[in-house]
């Protein structure tokens, strides 16, 4: 499928990746992780979104589970997840997910989901059931949720927050100017509202967001996005390089950022007060998520101690 609306203005994608975008072959516990994931019957965003970190993460027995199926009701021009009419949610998915998390002995797990605009509650109650099932089966496992925007409905965000995840992650994805063209069913201001509402409902929950670079944004626009996220109380930030999933069906990479520029972006983000920033070519919203969570929790606790010091 060609994206006719985008094709006239897009350059041909670069065929050769820069040297810093090469990945090693899988090793470690890759096969064991693959077996557990396959047996669970729960999708992973690692596979569905063609994540370049799959081999590294699965070798370390890390996986980001994608509930509510692997078919999305939205079509974003950067995303590899399929778009069509999804199947009904599977009632036993929370239990199957909880078993997989226990089998992998995860200390921290990220659960994401496709957008389910076809459902009255957009999947919020199913999402909450998955969080509760993990808490019950693995009480020492911390849970990070990465839902769609729920159209910024406070009742749905509250439903998920009341399941008591330790971290609420919602990606802003890109700068505001590019959002209507590349993410037509998303909304920049709505994503900011989601993060604001989550923090207001549950101030103790760490909030996190992520975005891609290389889509044609400017550094000033990135800085403004970081500022907007901090304004709504976002605690943690991830910044990664956009990689085009397919040549003909997805938005083309406009620029590859070298590692040094990711470091500069991270320095600026930290200066704004983010308690944890992961920035690099291969960083994704769930990449090394446990390290981001640990740093966020540690620094927030330290700030609270300083604030209450007599």
- pLDDT value, residue 42: 61
**255-279 burial, b for 16+ CB within 10 Å, e for fewer?**
ebbeeebbeebbebbeeeebbbbbb
CB-based contact 109:57 (threshold 8 Å):
no
CB-based contact 197:153 (threshold 8 Å):
no
Q: What would the two tokens of residue 142 be?
A: 């911390």
10 pLDDT higher than 50: no
CATH superfamily of 24-307: Aldolase class I (3.20.20.70)
Q: What would the two tokens of residue 286 be?
A: 């769930």
Q: What would the two tokens of residue 117 be?
A: 């605009």
Per residue in 295-308, pLDDT tens? 999 999 988 776 55
Q: Which residues pair with 64 in a beta bridge?
A: 110
Quick one: how far is CA 158 from the chain centroid? 19
Return the minimum-mean-pLDDT range out of 90-104, 138-152, 284-298. 284-298
Return the minimum-mean-pLDDT range out of 61-65, 204-208, 257-261. 61-65
- pLDDT value, residue 8: 39
CB-based contact 166:143 (threshold 8 Å):
yes
Q: What is the pTM of this model?
A: 0.85
- pLDDT value, residue 37: 59
The fraction of the chain above a pLDDT of 70, given in percent, is: 78
Residue 27: pLDDT band (50, 70, 90) is: low
């Amino acid at each position: 499928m060609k994206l006719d609306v985008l094709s006239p203005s897009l350059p041909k994608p670069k065929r050769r990746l820069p040297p810093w975008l090469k990945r090693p072959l899988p090793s470690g516990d890759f096969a064991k992780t693959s077996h557990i994931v396959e047996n669970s019957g729960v999708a992973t965003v690692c596979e569905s979104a063609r994540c370049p970190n799959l081999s590294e993460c699965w070798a370390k027995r890390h996986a980001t589970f994608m509930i509510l199926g692997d078919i999305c009701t939205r079509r974003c021009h950067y995303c590899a997840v399929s778009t069509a009419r999804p199947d009904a949610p599977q009632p036993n998915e929370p239990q199957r997910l909880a078993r997989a998390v226990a089998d992998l002995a995860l200390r921290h797990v990220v659960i994401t989901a496709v957008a389910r605009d076809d459902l009255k509650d957009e999947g919020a109650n199913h999402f909450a059931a998955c969080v509760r099932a993990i808490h019950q089966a693995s009480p020492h496992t911390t849970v990070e949720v990465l839902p769609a925007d729920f159209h910024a409905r406070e009742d749905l965000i509250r439903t998920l927050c009341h399941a008591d995840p330790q971290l609420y992650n919602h990606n802003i994805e890109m700068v505001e100017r590019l959002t209507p063209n590349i993410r037509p069913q998303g909304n920049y201001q709505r994503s900011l509202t989601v993060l604001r509402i989550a923090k207001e409902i549950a101030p103790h929950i760490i909030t996190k967001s992520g975005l891609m670079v290389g889509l044609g944004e400017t550094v000033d626009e990135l800085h403004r996005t970081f500022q907007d996220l901090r304004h709504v109380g976002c605690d943690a930030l991830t910044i990664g390089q956009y990689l085009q999933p397919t040549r003909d069906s997805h938005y083309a990479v406009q620029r590859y950022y070298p590692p040094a520029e990711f470091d500069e972006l991270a320095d600026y983000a930290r200066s704004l007060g983010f308690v944890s920033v992961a920035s690099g070519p291969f960083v994704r919203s769930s990449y090394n998520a446990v390290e981001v969570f640990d740093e966020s929790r540690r620094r927030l606790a330290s700030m609270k101690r300083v604030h209450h010091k007599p």
